[in-house]
Amino acid sequence: LTKKVEMTNWEKGHYIDYAGMNSRLNIVRQRLNRPLMYAEKILYSHLDDPHGQEIERGKSYLRLRPDRVACQDATAQMAILQFMSAGMPSVATPTTVHCDHLIEAQIGGEKDLERAQAINKEVYDFLSTSCAKYNIGFWRPGSGIIHQIVLENYAFPGALMIGTDSHTPNAGGLGMAAIGVGGADAVDVMANLPWELKAPKVIGVKLTGQLSGWATPKDIILKVAGILTVKGGTGAIIEYHGPGVNSLSCTGMATICNMGAEIGATTSVFPFNDRMYDYLGATNRKEIGDFARSYAAELREDEGAEYDELVEINLSELEPHINGPFTPDLATPISKFKDAVKENKWPEELKVGLIGSCTNSSYEDMSRAASIAQDALDHGIKAKSVFTVTPGSEQIRATIERDGQLKTLEDFGGMVLANACGPCIGQWDRRDVKKGEPNSIISSYNRNFTGRNDANPATHAFVASPDMVVAMTLAGTLNFNPLTDTLKDKDGNDFKLAEPSGAGLPSNGFDPGNDTYQAPPENRESVNVAVSPTSDRLQILEPFNAWDGKDALDMPILIKAKGKTTTDHISMAGPWLKYRGHLDNISNNMLIGAINSANGEANKVKNFTTGETDAVPATARDYKSKGIKWVVIGDWNYGEGSSREHAALEPRHLGGLAIITRSFARIHETNLKKQGMLPLTFATPEDYDKIQPEDKVDLMCTELAVGQPFTMKVHPANGDETFEVKLAHTYNEPQIEWFKNGSALNTMAKHNKK
Ligand code: F3S
């Protein structure tokens, strides 16, 4: 295990540490003294303190040291800007950035890419120069979708990775625990802080039998989503095992792990097997495959390991499924789909079929899809619906161009889009239906929430395997079951489609295509990070001020929010995403969705200095300009939703000191602490009702100590006597330092200077 094997062909000096992983795992094994699941082994072998770490699944917070970080271009902007403010010369953990989210599908791959390069020039320039400066591998626009590139180049069995995108778990197809996180977590790991994860439960999915015919790996996860539902995987890792696993291709396993995000799973993993070994070989990483074989006993579950929950699926009986519309867990087997269409009055005509995306764009997927398309062409017919193809990476695109599948899909009527997210993330200039017009589309993607693909809430989006998408697109209707129904050939004769077929890996090896990777240069000191001071999309972050060491007196309540206040209410998405890299501009959306308890309205609060009613961000800016700190009062589970760090950065930027609520969603609470904001909760939740929106409060910040309550004095606006309220908090020692220094990053910067 002490061999020196590089993690990836793209970097030098980052070795796979199976020896270290093994020794940490043995420490934990002795402590727990029971058979372990594979997911547990990966996590425990990456513990910061395997001796001292408390380990109880579903309870303890594990402090982990991931092997890698991957960021997509939309989330990388703020992550890197924050990292820069820590003043470190390079990232502490190997990191890559991937340009895939900002390319809009309009007229086809090359043109769309050129247009995106022009529109997003300043963002790409910033990412490319900052990556060069801080020793981050940079995958340029056109290189492909983050998860595909990670699988092709960076994932390896037994590894732990975090990525700033929900479908990071895709790398589970190579036996890696890859977990989607927010930018703030990525920054921690880039800056060498341990990363915290609540010890997940593990749901086992035992696969028996073998796939055949029209059934694909996608159908396994479509079925699992139906069983577990969109909430069923919350707080859990899904671990596949059993004899059926060996019949799946590595990329097929990746598809399954990818879409585990749809059931809320922390991640999904497959044990190391020969199919992974073959894939490593095909992607020029045979040495990693051999190394993994020497550690193989720990790259799977122990005999007798007990799962927190167990699901069994017999692959020999598995039917193709179509899930949707509007939610990925509404799973219908193809044999029942026509009835479901009728019963639910889903629009029968199929307008568009889309294959590819990070979920389903492997060589195998494209080969099988092309085999169906070829069958149709041989019968003289083509796609009836609009048909798009998104290759997952430049390597896939170049290989299927060389091997002919791309031409077949084009002849069939396909428009080949850029190697990027495109319609999957709503980057789709769709023109064939008007907004509000009910219509059906089907894709091989993973997500089908209302409006996700084309911003039309009336679009019924279904997800299925690429095979099913091609077959449906050919029929032009949802009322078609390729397993039983016939089509008409060009002469009007009936024929049945042959079962799809296709190789898992290209027999002539992969063609890498155009060179789209930018390695960090040797001499990084002279690199200047490109941010124009006049940019409205990017802004260099100044470190936040340290705490002044005093209690904060007589502060106004910016807003007393009532009811649900999610991260979307605090920092809205949609058009605001454009300003992700510009804290001052995006702060104009701060809390604009929160409901003011004083008037039941959103984005209308009273400015106590002027008596005027104004927007929340404008009022906060006015207080800030007058040197007045403010607080927010919130209701239950404040900050639920996403891990978006902007929801914590914005109140800090606009001069807030504390958010005081009945309770917090944990990730948001931690994000607030990281930015130097005080997240506090009412020790007695009813105290929320005692405070009126126009009251003033004092916060005894000098009292902040681990496990100690915190005093707030309330000065009622109606002249009643001042009263005290006890507040609770969850700060530990290091986190109190974050508050004192102004943020977690300031704290890192301070330690680094020492
Ligand atoms: Fe991109 Fe869609 Fe995947 S947005 S990362 S292709 S889920």
Whole-complex ipTM: 0.97
Q: State whether 490 and 346 are in the same domain.
A: yes
At residue 749, does pLDDT exceed 90?
Answer: no
Using pLDDT thresholds of 50, 70 and 90, give the confidence band for residue 752: confident
Q: State whether 476 and 590 are in the same domain.
A: no
- CATH code for the domain of 463: 3.30.499.10
Q: State whether 654 and 561 are in the same domain.
A: yes
Q: What is the pLDDT of residue 427?
A: 83
Using pLDDT thresholds of 50, 70 and 90, give the confidence band for residue 136: very high
Probe residue for ligand 1, chosen from 139, 166, 425, 446 as the CB with the greatest number of ligand atoms within 8 Å: 425
Q: What is the pLDDT of residue 537?
A: 94
Q: What is the pLDDT of residue 109?
A: 82
- From 494, 515, 535, the end of a domain falls on 494
Using pLDDT thresholds of 50, 70 and 90, give the confidence band for residue 578: confident
At residue 605, does pLDDT exceed 90?
Answer: yes
Q: Give the 3-state secondary structure of residue 368.
A: helix
Probe residue for ligand 1, chosen from 75, 145, 452 as the CB with the greatest number of ligand atoms within 8 Å: 145
Cα dihedral 445, 162, 182, 578 sign: negative
Say how many Å lie between the CA of residue 165 and the centre of ligand 1: 8
Average pLDDT over residues 510-515: 96
Using pLDDT thresholds of 50, 70 and 90, give the confidence band for residue 753: confident
Q: State whether 486 and 560 are in the same domain.
A: no
Ligand 1 atom closest to the CA of 359, numbered from 1: 3
Ligand 1 site: residues with CB under 6 angstroms? 100, 145-147, 165, 167, 357-358, 421, 424-425, 446-447
* Residues 672 and 730: beta-carbon distance below 8 Å: no
- From 494, 512, 535, the end of a domain falls on 494
Is 110 contained in some domain? Answer: no
At residue 573, does pLDDT exceed 80?
Answer: no
Say how many Å lie between the CA of residue 144 and the centre of ligand 1: 10
pLDDT in tens, 329-345: 999 999 999 999 999 99
Using pLDDT thresholds of 50, 70 and 90, give the confidence band for residue 451: confident
Q: What is the pLDDT of residue 713?
A: 98
Integer Cα distance of 697 and 687 in angstroms: 13
Q: What is the pLDDT of residue 445?
A: 96
* Residues 260 and 231: beta-carbon distance below 8 Å: no
Integer Cα distance of 433 and 642 in angstroms: 31
520: preceding bond cis by omega (within 30 degrees): no
Percent share of the chain, pLDDT over 90 = 86
Is 100 annotated as catalytic? yes
Q: What is the pLDDT of residue 19?
A: 98
Q: What is the pLDDT of residue 285?
A: 98
At residue 87, does pLDDT exceed 90?
Answer: no
Is 532 contained in some domain? Answer: no
Q: State whether 489 and 556 are in the same domain.
A: no
Is 339 contained in some domain? Answer: yes
At residue 754, does pLDDT exceed 90?
Answer: no
Q: What is the pLDDT of residue 267?
A: 96
pLDDT in tens, 183-238: 889 999 999 989 999 899 999 999 999 999 999 999 999 999 999 998 888 889 99
Ligand 1 atom closest to the CA of 72, numbered from 1: 5
pLDDT in tens, 1-27: 899 999 999 999 999 999 999 999 999
Is 218 contained in some domain? Answer: no
- CATH code for the domain of 595: 3.20.19.10
Is 469 contained in some domain? Answer: yes
Say how many Å lie between the CA of residue 397 and the centre of ligand 1: 17
Using pLDDT thresholds of 50, 70 and 90, give the confidence band for residue 397: very high
Using pLDDT thresholds of 50, 70 and 90, give the confidence band for residue 723: very high
Q: What is the pLDDT of residue 468?
A: 98
Say how many Å lie between the CA of residue 355 and the centre of ligand 1: 12
Antiparallel, parallel or unpaired: β 309-314 and 552-560: unpaired
Q: State whether 455 and 556 are in the same domain.
A: no
pLDDT in tens, 233-282: 888 999 999 999 999 999 999 999 999 999 989 999 999 999 999 999 99
Average pLDDT over residues 591-615: 97
Read off the DSSP letter of residue 318: P
Probe residue for ligand 1, chosen from 72, 101, 104, 167 as the CB with the greatest number of ligand atoms within 8 Å: 167
CA angle 211, 217, 218 (to 5 degrees): 135
Using pLDDT thresholds of 50, 70 and 90, give the confidence band for residue 137: very high
Using pLDDT thresholds of 50, 70 and 90, give the confidence band for residue 556: very high
Residue nearest to atom 4 of ligand 1 (CA): 425
Using pLDDT thresholds of 50, 70 and 90, give the confidence band for residue 455: confident
- Domain span including residue 430: 319-494
The alpha carbon of residue 432 and the mean position of all alpha carbons in its chain are separated, in whole angstroms, by 30
At residue 575, does pLDDT exceed 90?
Answer: no
Rounded to two decimals, the pTM is: 0.91
238-274 core/surface letters (b: 16 or more CB in 10 A; e: else)? bbbbbebbebbbbbbbbbbbbbbbbbbbbbbbbbbbe
Say how many Å lie between the CA of residue 146 and the centre of ligand 1: 8
Q: What is the pLDDT of residue 104?
A: 83
Q: What is the pLDDT of residue 563?
A: 93
Is 542 contained in some domain? Answer: no
Q: State whether 633 and 699 are in the same domain.
A: yes
What's the structural domain count of the chain? 2
User: Per mean pLDDT, which range of 284-298, 366-380, 632-646 is the poorest?
Assistant: 632-646
Is 448 contained in some domain? Answer: yes
CA angle 549, 78, 733 (to 5 degrees): 35
- From 494, 517, 536, the end of a domain falls on 494
Using pLDDT thresholds of 50, 70 and 90, give the confidence band for residue 457: confident
Catalytic, out of 73, 100, 403, 635: 100
Residue nearest to atom 2 of ligand 1 (CA): 424
What contacts 415, CB < 8 A, 6 or more positions away?
Answer: 107, 108, 386, 387, 388, 389
Catalytic, out of 98, 430, 447, 460: 447
E strand or H helix at 73: helix 73-85
Catalytic, out of 46, 537, 644, 652: 644
pLDDT, mean over the chain? 95
Say how many Å lie between the CA of residue 148 and the centre of ligand 1: 10
Catalytic, out of 17, 67, 73, 165: 165
Say how many Å lie between the CA of residue 92 and the centre of ligand 1: 27
Q: State whether 487 and 583 are in the same domain.
A: no
Q: State whether 346 and 476 are in the same domain.
A: yes
* Residues 444 and 360: beta-carbon distance below 8 Å: yes
Q: Give the 3-state secondary structure of residue 615.
A: coil
Is 57 annotated as catalytic? no
500-503, Cβ contacts within 8 angstroms, sequence gap of 24 or more: 500/214, 500/368, 500/369, 500/371, 500/372, 500/467, 501/367, 501/368, 501/371, 502/363, 502/364, 502/365, 502/366, 502/367, 502/368, 502/369, 502/370, 502/371, 503/363, 503/364, 503/367
What are the structure tokens assigned to 6, written together? 């590089």
Q: What is the pLDDT of residue 234?
A: 83
E strand or H helix at 383: none
Q: State whether 325 and 436 are in the same domain.
A: yes
Q: What is the pLDDT of residue 7?
A: 97
Neighbours of 171 (CB within 10 A): 29
Q: State whether 367 and 482 are in the same domain.
A: yes
Ligand 1 atom closest to the CA of 447, numbered from 1: 7
pLDDT in tens, 143-184: 999 999 999 999 999 999 999 998 999 999 999 999 999 888
Q: State whether 377 and 486 are in the same domain.
A: yes
Percent share of the chain, pLDDT over 70 = 100
Is 681 contained in some domain? Answer: yes
Say how many Å lie between the CA of residue 143 and the centre of ligand 1: 14
Q: What is the pLDDT of residue 644?
A: 84
Is 293 annotated as catalytic? no
Q: What is the pLDDT of residue 568?
A: 85
Q: In 370-498, where do the E strands start and end? A: 386-390, 414-416, 439-443, 459-463, 487-488, 494-495
Residue nearest to atom 3 of ligand 1 (CA): 358
